Amino acid sequence: MCDPVIIGATLMAAGTAKQNSSSRKAARARSSYKNNYYALNDALMNEAGAAQKTSQDTMEKPAFDEGVAEQYQKLLEGFTGNNRSVLPTTSAAAGAPAIVQNENDLRMAQAAATKLDLDKGLADLNSVSNYLTTTVNPQLNNSRATTGMTGGFQRGNASVLGTELEAANALANDQLAQLMIAGGQTAMGYGLMAPTGGTPVPWTNPDTKQVTTFL
């Protein structure tokens, strides 16, 4: 028959090794899950930061001035391009004196200059609002949507991490290893408490009548 102490020690050693292996596996899983969480969070934060930076850039003075100037030029080109249809082209009657023709040309030039001044003023007046409408506001809406979306992904990422860590912790709970350790402890306890073997033999001293038991 095998010695229960040896059996118990063997079971405990094997169970402890198995439990340590499971614990290391759980630690590796936890580390991997956390690294993935941090990497995804960083990517989401960078995406939100880039959208916010773009919005901020559109409102910085250099970009803002450049955007307003571009809108001014577009508006002015549109207004002045309509001069031909807005301003009538008139000329003096055929055979009219030169002074009349010159006066007519002068008045037409003055009218064109006045129209151009009005166009410039109108383009200048609307250039800021056009830049805000066509560039700044859409970018602000985009960065707001991007920030909200990435924030939602971050919350979901945190929830997934909690579930993954629970699963990793479960890997460390190796029930078979625990049973092997418990079984080994029981076997060793039994072996240490059990008799060493042999049949007790009583012997009586004929002189003193004292009884001694030999194993």
HEC profile for the chain? CCCHHHHHHHHHHHHHHHHHHHHHHHHHHHHHHHHHHHHHHHHHHHHHHHHHHHHHHHHCHHHHHHHHHHHHHHHHHHHHHCHHHHCCCCCCCCCCCHHHHHHHHHHHHHHHHHHHHHHHHHHHHHHHHHHHHHHHHHHHHHHHHHHHHHHHHHHHHHHHHHHHHHHHHHHHCCHHHHHHHHHHHHHHHHHHHCCCCCCCEEEECCCCCCEEEEC
Greater confidence (117 vs 192) lies with 117
Residue 100 has pLDDT above 70, yes or no: no
Check residue 70 and give its pLDDT. 92
Between 32 and 102, the higher pLDDT residue = 32
Higher pLDDT, 205 or 4: 4
Predicted pLDDT of residue 91: 55
pTM assigned to the model: 0.55
